[in-house]
Amino acid sequence: MSLHATRASALLAWVNSLKVDNPLSALSQLRDCSVFLKIIDKVHGSEEGQSVLQQPLSEKIEFIRSFLQKHCKHKSTMESPVSIPKLLEGEELELAKVTMLLLYHASMSTKSPRDWNEFEYKIQAELATVLKFVLDNEESLNENLEFFLQKKVPLSSSSISSTSSEEQSPVFSRQHKREVRFLELQKIASSSSMNSFLPGSPVSPMGDIMQTPQFQLRRLKKQLADERENRDELELELTENRKLITEKGQ
């Protein structure tokens, strides 16, 4: 199975829009992970990624994995949907996963607000579909993400003959439900595009979805979680400083 061409193009357009490196023509050009580090620094407002830019690929990937595990997940118990071995091999699907999660984190961040209207409408509509998918599937990304990013290979004549038996299987049933859900997401993007020509309707699919209660609530929860983490780190630092002062005074 190959990547969904429209989604891959939209993700690539987002990467290039950040202007952290020379324009790329394919997601496969992200395989050395340096651009990911630069995106993290730009979106997160830090220079942490600079420290590993010249390190071996395995260390770059470990830094990215840690960042995604910390900032791009809904629950602390969730496993990362990104495969480290496959990233080391430079598989395009894994590169698309990382890009998609970084897009999600960037949209949640208030440190780097964007004018989404700089994108072509069809690209912006696809990015909105991607964002909506992550919001709806945060607790099951491991199960659904690959299916969302890929497209089906046309059935061969030999596989067509077995279709009727597959339709009766639980696996096919679950897959069919996912297909229906993804079609619904595409309809959201399409209807948003059509509505843009109506008076008083939204002109930005990304701006539209970022104003929904679902997105606003998720962003608020993330901000609160980040503030709690910063507070805990400050309290730990304060405790260690007090301990040092006490030891020096003895």
Q: Please name which of 74, 86, 18 lies closest in space to residue 64, comparing C-alpha atoms.
A: 86
Q: Which residue has the tokens 């509509």?
A: 125
Cα separations (Å) of 144 from 13, 140, 148, 199, 237?
Answer: 23, 6, 6, 36, 40
Residue 188's Cα: distance from chain center in Å?
A: 19
- What pLDDT sits at residue 226? 74
- What pLDDT sits at residue 80? 75
- Answer CATH for 1-114 from 3.40.1400, 3.30.700, 1.10.418, 1.10.10: 1.10.418
Distance (Å, whole) CA 127 – CA 16: 14
Q: Which residue has the tokens 């630092």?
A: 237
Distance (Å, whole) CA 125 – CA 199: 19
pLDDT along the chain (250 residues), means of 10: 88 95 95 95 84 92 89 60 91 95 88 79 93 88 86 41 44 49 48 41 78 89 79 85 82
Residues 6+ apart with CB under 8 A from 82: 65, 68, 94, 97, 98, 101
Number of C-beta neighbours around residue 81 at 10 A: 21
Domain ranges of the chain: 1-114
- pTM for this structure? 0.72
- DSSP conformation letters of 195-228: HTTSTT--S-HHHHHHTSHHHHHHHHHHHHHHHH
Provide the Cα torsion 237, 241, 244, 245; round to 10°.
Answer: -170
Beta bridge partners of 151: 2
Contact between residue 108 and residue 73 where contact means Cβ atoms under 8 Å apart? no
